[in-house]
Structure 1
Amino acid sequence: MAEKQKILIVDDDANIAELISLYLLKECFDTLIVNDGEEAIEKFHSYQPGLILLDLMLPGIDGYEVCREIRKTSNVPIIMLSAKGEIFDKVLGLELGADDYMIKPFDSKELVARVKAVLRRFHPVVATAPQTVSSAIPPTGDYVEYPDLLINLSNYSVTYYNNTIDMPPKELELFYFLASHPNQVFTREQLLDHIWGYEYIGDTRTVDVHIKRLREKIKDHTSWSLATVWGIGYKFEVKN
């Protein structure tokens, strides 16, 4: 029998946490509820969840700080939950490494759907001996390949100069989308529509945040680069 996916629920509202747990248990997930930030960090290491549902307004250490601490050592998917709907709060959460953001109150079916969607996108890459991009075993599925770079959407992996780069799902999807359309310029609005969907339209800084994070991990190559087209948007530039 397949092992159940573990979901860590971090919320100081016991009623909401129990309700979320009930929805997820019905979908055959395993859940653990914690009520404050310090316990969340502690239980994260011992419980080893496959995904975290993280409320922002927590006693003691808030959700932003919990996300920051977890991102120091792990790429586990994080969906932030908040009664705040301001663009600033969403962007800050994304800057810290969250994969999705839901505003309370939310529909239970939508929550479960988003959990499943994020888990489908996230496939941790098991560390193995370094391999070159042009390995004897060719990549399979949906991927794009450039000198010293391989972005594989099928198993959500990025190989850069023979090293596997940890990358949250949305970050990788954005990178793959741009790289699969070389030299084509996309506006921030077009990228939001393609990668995040209608609910993020208007939050154009979301794209800037993810591009900034990509550039911190992937530096410009002599053959290709992530280029800014001032006043318009971004493109994956391939040089002749």
Structure 2
Amino acid sequence: MRRAFTVALERYGYAMTAAADGLTGLELFREREFDLLILDVMLPGLDGIGLCRRVREASLVPVLMMSARGDGLDVVAGLEAGADDYVVKPVDTYVLVARIRSLLRRATYAPVSGPQSQPASVEPADEVLTFGDLAIDTAGMVVSVAGRPVALTPTELKVLLEFAARPGVVLERHTLLRDVWDYGWDGDSRVVDLCVQRLRRKLGRDRIETVRGFGYKLRR
């Protein structure tokens, strides 16, 4: 499967680097810069979930998790570890390419780097949106809480921007799936729920309110 996907994605113009196990993948990640990672949950040595956690300790690079069909626990664990999206095996190449393109588009919203590369504070400007002590510099794509920068993945930042564009307005899960994940069909709402959970951990648990039966909204 690894060889097949490598060949297929190279035909779409992507430069691929493949690893047969998680530890080799971790070494490659540390040695080189990548635009996106595809991690199989069932990697030997260091599994995809463990590898995703190690990656998230150092980088906000987009991560697409690949899971066996029906392994709901693996999907949740991968998303909680910091993955941006997932596909289930077996997966058609065109579906995989669609998910890759969506993640790469999202990555243009923010520099793929850790918090150490972001400025220590946000200067007041017309492009800065403020909600209490939360500040979003929409020009520099920098987020801070009480003056301290917060490192968000491109997906987390895109979700936050959707909320910030309509503060106090309830956004339904399927709306976020369409506008952030580019799902033109009914997607798995767990990716939305777990992304919101990660945002709450980083920004404050009361920042995004759950409206039961409908979705989420950013508190004014």
Interval of TM-score (by shorter of Structure 1 and Structure 2): 0.7 to 0.9
Inter-partner Cα distance in structure 2 for 1:26 and 1:204: 31
2:4 corresponding residue in structure 1: 19
Distance 1:59 1:184 in 2: 45
1:235 — aligned with what? 217
Among 56, 72, 81, the alignment partner of 1:96 is 81
Contact persistence 2:134–2:145 (CA under 8 A): yes
Which residue of the partner structure matches residue 130 of structure 1?
120
Gaps of 5+ in 2: none
Q: Which amino acid aligns with 1:186?
A: L
Structure 1, residues 66-108: CA drift from partner, whole Å, max 9, x if none? 1112112211111111223344332221111111111122222
| Residue 22 of structure 2: aligned partner | 37
1:149 aligns with 2:134: yes
- Larger Rg over CA atoms: 1
Residue 226 (structure 1) aligned with residue 208 (structure 2) = yes
Give the RMSD, CA atoms, in angstroms. Answer: 2.8
In structure 1, the partner of 2:46 is 61
TM-score normalised by L of structure 1: 0.75
Q: TM-score, normalised by structure 2?
A: 0.81
Q: Distance in 2 between matches of 1:37 and 1:117?
A: 24
Q: Matched residue of 1:80: which SS? A: strand
Give SS of 2:28's match: helix
| Matches of 1:220 and 1:61, distance apart in 2 | 31
C-alpha change, 1:27 and 1:146, in structure 2 (3 Å) is same
Q: 2:96 aligns with which of 94, 111, 119?
A: 111
Tell me how far apart the structure 2 counterparts of residues 169 and 182 of structure 1 sit (CA, whole Å): 20
CA distance in 1, matches of 2:60, 2:66: 18
Instruction: Percent identity, please.
Output: 35
Q: Is the 8 A contact 2:158 2:180 kept in 1?
A: yes
Instruction: Determine the C-alpha separation between the residues in 1 that align with 2:155 and 2:30.
Output: 24
Contact in 2 for aligned 1:133/1:148 (Cα 8 Å):
no
Residue 71 in 1 paired to residue 56 in 2? yes
User: Partner letter of residue 130 of structure 1?
Assistant: A
Q: Distance in 2 between matches of 1:155 and 1:24?
A: 32
1:104-124 C-alpha deviation (Å, 9 max, x unpaired) = 222223322322221221131
Match of 1:10 in 2: none
Residue pairs, 1:194-213, within 5 angstroms: 194-196=179-181, 197-199=183-185, 201=187, 203-213=188-198
CA distance in 1, matches of 2:86, 2:139: 24
1:205–1:106 distance in 2 versus 1, CA, 3 Å: closer
Distance 2:70 2:197 in 1: 23
